[in-house]
Amino acid sequence: MLNVGLTGGIATGKSTVVRMLVRRGARVVDHDALVHALQEPGRPVWQRIVEAFGREILDAAGRIDRKKLGAVVFGSEERRRVLEGIVHPAVLEEAQRERERIGREDERAIVLSDIPLLLEVGMQGLFDLVLLVYAPREVQIARVMKRNRMTRDEAVARLEAQMPIDEKLKRADVVIRNDGTMKELEARVDEVWEELLARERQKRVQGSGSRVRGTETRD
């Protein structure tokens, strides 16, 4: 089984790439979806968040309102660390269980762990390789402005809340560039899928004691 940490940036088209890779046979562990599931009312993570930040962060149905929670945490390093200390360990544990379950079902699976802030929180060491969905900064800005109906300043502020995409580019093992046509993207995904299959075979031959190495592909 090959464990791939998949990340990108705002408006790079990561979700589109994930769908393309799933059609080719990849399995996905969606960390954002796990966060939502773990924060369902009554679950231990929900309970700990409510205890830490108060019932004011809940909506009328008793669910955590992410905007309200964000407003409480925003601008406070201490509160952000408290929240991360509650959520991150639980998500990592649940994600690992999911990867192990997939591995039992298919020992040759290509498993994509979809983590938007993978590089920001230093999780790359957990995976055999890091796959980045990349689009140049100006393309990101234009897409955010169009998609979210934002001004340029608002779009730039969104981007600056994450690690710059060109910094992520330096840290990735494999890159899918997405600033062309859909046909070009499909062709690039085909290339990367073959690369991932080759690396999974290499891992089985070499064993799982180290990160999988191969020819870097940064087109």
Residue 168 domain-assigned?
A: yes
- pLDDT higher than threshold 50 for residue 214: no
Looking at the structure of the chain, the number of domains it has is 1
Q: What is the pLDDT of residue 209?
A: 54
The per-residue pLDDT for range 25-60, each reduced to its tens digit, is 999 999 999 999 999 999 999 999 999 999 999 999
Residue 215 domain-assigned?
A: no
155 lies in which domain range?
Answer: 2-206
- pLDDT higher than threshold 70 for residue 195: yes
Residue 213 domain-assigned?
A: no
Q: What is the pLDDT of residue 74?
A: 76
Residues recorded for the chain: 219
Residue 214 domain-assigned?
A: no
Residue 125 domain-assigned?
A: yes
Residue 216 domain-assigned?
A: no
The per-residue pLDDT for range 53-98, each reduced to its tens digit, is 999 999 999 999 988 998 888 778 899 889 989 999 999 999 999 9
Task: State mean pLDDT over 135-159.
Answer: 93
Do 26 and 112 contact (CB within 8 A), yes or no? yes
Q: What is the pLDDT of residue 11?
A: 95
Q: What is the pLDDT of residue 107?
A: 93
Q: What is the pLDDT of residue 208?
A: 58
Residue 212 domain-assigned?
A: no
Nearest to 94 by CA among 21, 44, 41: 44
- What angle (nearest 5°) sits at the alpha carbon of residue 147, between those of residues 4 and 138? 70
Residue 37 domain-assigned?
A: yes
**CATH number for 120:** 3.40.50.300
